[in-house]
Amino acid sequence: MPAWTLIAPEGVLLFCALLALFADVLVRGRERAAAWIGAAGCALAAGVSLYAGRGQLFGGQFSIDGPAQVARTATLLLAAAFLVWLAGEGLRRGRVREFAALVLFATLGALLMAAARDWIVLLLALETATMPAYVLMGFDRSDDRSLEGALKYFLLSMVASLLFLYGASFVIGMSGSTAFAATRLQGGTIGIIAAAFVCAGLLAKLSAAPFQWWAPDAYAGAPSAAVAFVSSVPKIAGLAAFARVAQLLMPQVPQVGPLLVAAALASMFLGNLAAYPQTDVRRLMAYSGVAHAGYLLVGLATGTEAGLRAAVFYAIAYAVPSMGVMLVAARHGNTLDDLRGLAARRPWVAWATVLMLVSLVGVPPLAGFTGKLYLFTAAMGVGLTWLAVIAVAMSVVSAGFYLRIVRAMFFTTSAKPDIGGAQPAASAAVIVACALAVLAIGLASSPILSAISAGR
Amino acid sequence: MSYLLSVIIFLPLLGAAVSALVPKDRPGAAKWVALATSVLGLALTAAVVATFDRASGAMQFVTNVVWVPQAGVHYHLGVDGISITMLALSSLLGLVAVIASWKVTDRAPAYFAMLLLLQVGMNGVFVALDFVLFYMFWELVLVPMFFLIGMWGGARREYASIKFFIYTLAGSVFMLVGMIALYLSAGTFDMVELARAGSSGVFGLGFQNWVFLAFFLGFAVKVPVWPLHTWLPDAHVEAPTAASVLLAGILLKMGTYGFIRVSLPMLPQASAAWAPWISVLAAISIVYGAAVAFAQTDLKKLVAYSSVSHMGFVMLGIFSLTATGLNGAVAVMFSHGVVTGMLFLLVGMVYERSHTREISKVGGLSVAMPVMGGLLAFASFASLGLPGLSGFVGEFLSLVGAWQSAVIPHWITVVSAVGVLLAAAYMLWMVLRVVLGTPTEAVLGLPDVTAREVAALAPLIALTLVVGVWWSSLLGFVDPAVKALLALVTGAA
């Protein structure tokens, strides 16, 4: 296998993104062709990513190991699913072409993020992944709330990037190199400051506490379709990058462990408790994302191979249903009221949503449960039993607000007709596929775990 | 033959899928799918029971395949005398529940799919021998029961279904922590291996104590043990009849089965240390359940609280840590499943006809519906523990076991025995008001039981009589497994 195939998925995406921008010219009058092109590109890139295997490029700046390969493949498959949904559903205000291209650029950034092994490359990848997201979040140009949300997202995301860059500058200065492999942090205050700033930037990108406040406001203003993508797909790669950074910093700066534990704790509490009063599905899922970032951090805080593996697995187990639920909201309405009686109108979509929601709660045999089993096993393996106890208690709390969505869909009726008439087959299939994926990931976790461990 | 257990577990899953896919214009087909699946499942269970070696206390029909090697998870199934008793009960009540739901027409395909999905979890819990698998089946029952209560329940169904889900989930997640702790300590999720490790002193007492507490939370909520019982009356009253039957008949037994299969053999020293305290809770459950049952004006609530009381006897028998007590405990589990199933069915039939469950409004059944009244009296006698009927066997043995026990103080046994008297009192008083007396307006002129209803009740009546008269038909299965279990527990102590 020639080494350049490792970065071939990026190439495929770049090509498809450019192609998508000109899709109108190529296929006249078929705006959604761009999304189909993108979906095909992502699927192809996922195949290439599996086929290309693991290895290094550019003197080790770009490296694909087990976690990176799994994260990249999962990101691509999820992006493909999103684009199929987009192709089926379209956008209420049109401009699918730009939307699809932006999604592809963001996915491209996410891929680079998972593979980056250099502080500067990681920063560039982070920016490539978030820059298109600013536009996606403000896609409704005529809607002030969307613009407000996008602006908030932009400003806070920039702050996060700068925090990260500030920390990274210390790291690079101390190490005398930008490569991960050459990173040597000094002990004492200066090392702690460097590590803390780097982690703060990454925590903010992951919407983990105490840097979570941008998420609910930004999501609540944005179009649901944009939220579905931004809140889920880049998170897998982001987590993979964070895992690598945490693994790099923890042995050198012992304070990183407790810092991650504290962030995990705060995220789980804040996310789960603040999700309770929400009636807007986007805000609810924003806080749910904060809570799940907390679970992911439990895995990173262990600093072990098992914890890292569990965290990467859980990132996928979180992203799939999270995207699925948001896509349901994107079509059927953003508030709990809109979802009332959905079971009677759209039984398949409603049951698929149930599967995804109970997976987020952590009910076996679904992906969320399997992921939590591995996370908590890793945490308890390093003596963080108390943290695991709090985490399981918090997942009971989470049942309360996820079940409110189920209750709205199943136990109540609504006189409101469904929005937008008959559902296109493509978008319905994506919802059902997400639900089935949740089941499959939960049952067949073994091959995924092997793939994550491979080549390390 | 070892694949038989897998077929028994997953056959209802297939049935659920077929039932959900029934074409929209023929919703009536769902119940036939459910019936066929349940009959076949019961037949297969009967085949397992018939070929089961009753002399052995070991696991039989074992399947053991590696599932997730990275996490030490296996697909490990098997039955001993205790599990097979519960599996038989689960298959039987599964069928009874389907027959009892024959008139359900509201969203029938989803209803029967949920009923069958519930069977998957119920069957699975009793035959799983890998902890992760056990936990999966344990939690699997939550979702269909949540929908059964929430979509087809009574007036306060939303509240009751969410309370049920969150309450039982809260208990079981701590079980997950305990389970992981055992895994990290012994390096396996295999329940047979863990039992062996527990009895050979691998786990220290301090460790055992907190893990025991974690499991206690999971199991005790399900049983339910006072003071963790508050979800039960709500869930029972709002649940549709078939769900009530399965809730009382099987789901509660999952809790006591957990104590027998997990707590006792894996954490023997902690079990012995906690036994006196748990026996106090058991005695409180017995007396409290009975006392509260006395005060009920709703027929279904009365039966629900009587369950709290009866499950107290099971707890007492288990934590007597004697062979007699454990035999008694399993016998109560079986008998309570059968008898309470019968009671809930009858209450459901009365409610279906008269649209009320108020005891004061449904008097004089013996005149208005003589067969129904007679059956209700019969079930009540079985429930209160009349000798010659199944209820007596277990409660008698549980009390004897508790008296013999080295860990339970005698006064606890005495207090618990008072519970038997109370049970007789509230049941007879109920019979007096509901069955005897002059018929009330609400029940006059109502039709008596139909052939379908008798079909649902007949196997339960037969079992009540057979087990009541011929104890060893049941205990012959249970005793060798109990002996094998106690050898592990006392070997460690």
User: Residues of A with CB below 8 A from B184's CB?
Assistant: 377, 380-381
Residues of chain A contacting B166 with CB distance shorter than 8 Å: 396, 399-400, 403
> Cβ of B183 and A377 within 8 Å?
yes
Is residue B463 a part of any domain in this protein? yes
pLDDT at A90: 79
Long-range contacts of residues A183-189, Cβ cutoff 8 Å, at least 24 apart: A183/A119, A183/A248, A183/A252, A184/A252, A185/A249, A185/A252, A185/A253, A187/A252, A187/A253
One-character DSSP codes across B393-423: HHHHHHHHHHHH-SSS-HHHHHHHHHHHHHH
The pLDDT of residue A7 is: 81
* Mean pLDDT of the A131-159 span: 85
* % of residues, chain B, pLDDT over 90: 28
- Cβ of B162 and A374 within 8 Å? no
Token readout for A135 is 């536009």
Length of chain B equals: 493
Interface contact A436, partner B, CB < 8 A: no
- pLDDT for position A213: 79
Task: Please indicate whether, in this complex, the C-beta atoms of A373 and B181 are within 8 angstroms of each other.
Answer: no
Which pLDDT belongs to residue A412?
79
- The per-residue pLDDT for A438 is 93
Nearest to A449 among B70, B146, B173 (CB): B70
Q: Confidence band (pLDDT; 50, 70, 90) for A190?
A: confident
B438 — contact with chain A (CB < 8 Å)? no
Between CA A407 and CA A389 the distance in angstroms is: 27
Distance from CA of A430 to the nearest CA of B (A): 19
Taking contacts as CB-CB distances below 8 angstroms, the residues of chain A near B170 are: 393, 396
**Phi and psi, residue B67, nearest 5°:** -115, -65
Condensed to tens digits (0 to 9), the pLDDT of residues A402-423 reads: 988 898 888 877 766 666 567 7
Cα distance between residue A322 and residue B160, in whole Å: 27
Listed range (A20-29, A368-377, B307-316) with the worst mean pLDDT: A20-29
Q: Residues B119-153: pLDDT tens digits?
A: 999 999 999 999 999 999 999 999 999 999 988 88
Position A110 pLDDT exceeds 90? yes
Whether B213 has its CB under 8 Å from any CB of chain A: the answer is: no
Q: How far, CA to CA in Å, does B337 sit from each of B153, B332, B344?
A: 21, 8, 10
In this prediction, residue A336 carries a pLDDT of 81
Check CB contact under 8 Å for B158 and A411: yes
Domain boundaries, chain A: 3-453
- A290 pLDDT tier (thresholds 50, 70, 90): very high
The minimal CB distance from B180 to the residues A376, A396, A453 is found for: A376
Q: Is A445 on the interface with B (CB under 8 A)?
A: yes
- Tell me, yes or no, if A373 comes closer than 8 A to chain B by beta carbon: yes
Looking at residue A417, what DSSP letter applies? P
Q: How far is CA B93 from CA A410, B103, B151, B318, B342, in A?
A: 27, 17, 21, 23, 10
Whether pTM exceeds 0.90: yes
The four Cα atoms B358, B361, B366, B371 give a dihedral, to 10 degrees, of -50
Query: Hey, is the C-beta of B268 within 8 angstroms of any chain A C-beta?
Result: no
Query: Would residue B47 count as lying in a domain?
Result: no
Q: Which residues of B touch A396 (CB under 8 A)?
A: 166, 169-170, 173
Percent of chain B with pLDDT over 70: 99
Tokens of A360: 């987020």
Count of pairs with CB atoms under 8 A, one residue in A, one in B: 86
- The answer to whether residue B234 sits within a structural domain is no
A249-260 pLDDT per residue, tens? 888 888 888 999
**Which residues in B lie closer than 8 A to residue A388 (C-beta atoms)?**
177, 180
Q: Which pLDDT score, from 0 to 100, does residue B231 have?
A: 86
Find residue B65's DSSP bridge partners.
Answer: B75
- Structural domain that includes position B312: 274-493
Q: What share of chain A is helix, strand, coil (3-state, %, to 5)?
A: 80, 0, 20
Q: Does B142 touch chain A (CB under 8 A)?
A: yes
- B23 and A CB contact within 8 Å: no
Question: A22 — contact with chain B (CB < 8 Å)?
Answer: no
A407 with B68: Cβ contact below 8 A = no
Best mutation target among A366, A410, A449 (most B Cβ atoms within 10 Å) is A410
- CB neighbours (10 Å) of residue A428? 19
How distant is the Cα of B155 from the closest Cα of chain A, in angstroms?
A: 11
What lies within 8 Å, CB to CB, of A99 at 6+ separation is: A35, A86, A91, A136, A139, A225, A226
- Is B432 in CB contact (< 8 Å) with chain A? no
What percent of chain A has pLDDT above 70?
A: 97
Chain B nearest-CA distance from A398, in A, is 10
Of the candidates A32, A52, A119, which has an alpha carbon nearest to the alpha carbon of residue A426? A32
Residue B76 domain flag: no
Candidate from A29-33, B213-217, B317-321 with smallest mean pLDDT: A29-33
Q: Is the dihedral of CA B182, B183, B188, B189 positive or negative?
A: positive
A440 touches chain B (CB under 8 A): no
Taking an 8 Å cut-off on Cβ atoms, the answer to whether B147 and A403 are in contact is no
Using DSSP, state whether B356 is helix, strand or coil: coil
Residues of A in contact with B157 (CB under 8 A): 411
**CA-based nearest residue in chain B for residue A392:** B173
> If you measure CA to CA, which chain B residue comes closest to A453?
B70
Task: Kindly tell me if the per-residue pLDDT of B212 is higher than 90.
Answer: yes
Please indicate if any CB of chain A lies within 8 Å of the CB of B170: yes
Q: Is residue B467 part of a domain?
A: yes
Could you count the other beta carbons within 10 Å of the beta carbon of residue A418? Answer: 17
Cis peptide before B227 (omega within 30 of 0): yes
Q: Which helix (H) or strand (E) holds B48?
A: helix B29-51
B159 within some domain: no
Whether B426 is covered by a domain: the verdict is yes
Domain total of chain B: 1
Is the pLDDT assigned to residue B389 strictly greater than 90? Answer: no
In a domain, B315, yes or no: yes
Question: Closest to A365 (Cβ–Cβ): which among B136, B142, B158?
Answer: B136
Q: Tell me what ipTM this predicted complex has.
A: 0.89
Interface of B with A in 440-469 (CB under 8 A): none
